[in-house]
Chains A and B, each alone.
Chain A
Amino acid sequence: AQTVTQSQPEMSVQEAETVTLSCTYDTSESDYYLFWYKQPPSRQMILVIRQEAYKQQNATENRFSVNFQKAAKSFSLKISDSQLGDAAMYFCAYKANFGNEKLTFGTGTRLTIIP
């Protein structure tokens, strides 16, 4: 069974600085997708970024980028120029490309932005 581990329950960063959130996963599949979702205090689940395992190039979305290390089964999220609106819970999630299409989530990292 696939598992997703987020070992940092809480992180904090100064506004305008850069922070990296860690995620590791375990799977025997070779074709899969990885996601970072953000959950602000409103509790809405918002997609931040997505990475296809077959792509070697790391995904980027504006201030958000990932460091995808397939062999190490690591998928970290880097947030540059942190803003107050980035304060939220961040969840790493895994989805196989075939078979069960469910998302398997990590336990989340609570990110605090210090003004």
Chain B
Amino acid sequence: DSGVTQTPKHLITATGQRVTLRCSPRSGDLSVYWYQQSLDQGLQFLIQYYNGEERAKGNILERFSAQQFPDLHSELNLSSLELGDSALYFCASSGRRAGVGETQYFGPGTRLLVL
């Protein structure tokens, strides 16, 4: 158990809908990362938050947004869902200090299926 929790584990929804994925980092970790794992794109970095602030952005679509709350949990919001958004979404957390080579520990993932 990595100490990172994600809810829900599975999500089935329809095209055009909006969903929210939730992540709680390991106790004390200030950085949260979101990754998408799909068959055609592999594992891709979406976005990072550090202590409530956006720190880095990757290949995140404009239809997707995220935030990190004062209690350090994070939510990834996916809207206007398309079939191609079906994937496994991972949250990872690291670090008490930004910019230091901290290991990222992954949550169990949320499996999203868009029908």
| Chain A residues proximal to chain B, CB less than 8 Å | 32-33, 35, 37, 42-47, 50, 52, 91, 95, 97-98, 100-105, 107-108
A44 in contact with B45 given A101-B55, A102-B56 (CB within 8 Å): no
CB pair A44 B43 closer than 8 Å: no
Establish whether residues B103 and A98, one from each chain, have CB atoms under 8 Å apart when the complex forms: no
The answer to whether A91 touches B58, judged by C-beta atoms less than 8 angstroms apart, is no
- Asked if B56 and A105 make an inter-chain contact with CB atoms under 8 angstroms apart, the answer reads no
Known: A101-B31, A101-B99. A47 touches B43 (CB 8 A): no
In the complex, besides A44-B108, A105-B42, 20 extra interface pairs with C-beta distance below 8 angstroms are: A33-B103, A42-B108, A43-B108, A43-B111, A44-B106, A44-B109, A45-B90, A45-B92, A52-B101, A95-B104, A100-B56, A101-B33, A101-B56, A101-B98, A101-B102, A102-B33, A102-B48, A103-B45, A104-B45, A107-B42
A95: chain B residues at CB < 8 Å are 101, 104
Alpha-carbon gap, A35 to B35, bound state (A): 16
Q: A10 CA to B74 CA in the complex, in Å?
A: 35
A42, A43, A50, A108: the one within 8 Å of B103 (CB): A50
B residues 65-115 in Cβ contact with A at 8 Å: 88, 90, 92, 94, 98-106, 108-109, 111
Residues on B with beta carbons closer than 8 Å to the beta carbon of A47: 103, 105
CA distance A23 to B64 in the complex (A): 31
Closest A residue by C-beta to B58: A102
Q: Can you identify 12 A-B contacts, CB atoms within 8 angstroms?
A: A35-B103, A42-B108, A43-B88, A43-B109, A43-B111, A44-B108, A45-B92, A45-B109, A91-B43, A101-B99, A104-B45, A107-B42
B106 touches A98 (CB 8 A): no
